[in-house]
Structure 1
Amino acid sequence: MNFNKTSFLLVSLLVIVTSLVAQDQNDSKYYIGISAGSSFPLGDFKDVSENNANSGFAETGAKFDIYGGYRFQEKLILTGTIRLQRYSTDTNDLINSLEINNPGINFTNDSDNWNVLYLLAGLAYQIDISKKFAVSPRIGIGPMIVNSPDIFVTATNGSSTVNYQRDGDAVTGFGYEIGIGLKRDLGKHFALMPTFTFTGGFITIESATRIGGVIVYSEYQPNIITFNLGLSLAYKF
């Protein structure tokens, strides 16, 4: 009789513990976090040639994310990201070209920065590697807001009219993200979630470009494409 009672208590305790462990593992359907890292421009966006109408003159920049997710199935996660990316402009090649074509005149760069804001929604699929580590391929789409820089390369000789200027603009477009995220649990409520993603977008910028005394009005499409690396910390609940 005592043996039966003991067995019953042990079985009951095992069921309770198993239920609590399962609940602990499945309770975290939501997460929210922040991420910061580097962003590397690609293609036309990083091109510094004055002969390419779509050159972005962008240097390696930085990115900052506020993101969240909701696990609506065992492996599928709805994601949302607010991402800000910022890039300085690289006009060294442009300055060298102007100085070669205009001996005796030095030029300086007085350009602004690229600022890109993404509002992305998407899906991630979680692949569990171990109990605490997972890989999540992800994709997202949404609007983007771009502030393109005013690019000024001016002659230090005040009497010279040989300058390069391209006006910046504020435009909206369609953005996207594709890549993978990693997740390393740090206890019940926190996790490291580094990401490796390509982001890009399609925008058209109306611009006036002045080279010397010649003004050219045009539309250019810098095809903003970047590769982003970021470390992050998320809170699960």
Structure 2
Amino acid sequence: MAPLQEQHQLVDFGQKSLLVSAAAIAFNPTFWNIVARREYRTRFMTKAFGGNSQTACYALAATIFSLGLCRDFFYERALRHQPSHPLLETQSIKFIAYALIAAGNTLVITSTYALGITGTFLGDYFGILMDDMVTGFPFNVCDAPMYYGSTMSFLGTALLYGKPAGILLTGWVLVVYLVALQYENPFTAGIYEKRNALKASGKTSEDKKEL
């Protein structure tokens, strides 16, 4: 009976790689939110880079990007250790997988292009604020294209590998991102509200240091 049970097993929860992948998925947004908020309140990274907020932001961007590569590595390794399912190994599923990956990457790349490096990687927390809200593509499609695009790529990869465990991890990705948005959106909005209040009060650009 053991071989039959293994044949119908959807997710192997005994694989440590699955837990490592889930932990990496949760760690990344937790890390950048904690670091960015500490930077906003103490300017510890800006001080570490000699008062250059631009360089500090680029350093955080490089760190976040590197952590993303590690997360993707752990995800792919977890999928390789998980059982496949015949229903996910059809040609039509492969086409859907490639479409999801292409659409997801399009959302991520175009949102990065629209925001720039500092706009994408939490430049607001470093006092590097955008003049106007970006409303064009892909932000006219969804409010968090980088998060939703990344989620689509995770799902596409899961389908491409034919792994039910990948679909489960994709659900975890979406939950983590939705929770992160609950913290990020109000905080970022508060930064810009403070900037607009300073403008309305007629204070000079030097007062932006208060942000």
TM-score when normalising by structure 1: 0.24
- The structure whose residues are more often helix, as a share, is 2
Say which structure, 1 or 2, has more relative contact order (CA 8 Å, 6+ apart).
2
- The structure whose residues are more often strand, as a share, is 1
The structure whose Rg is larger is 1
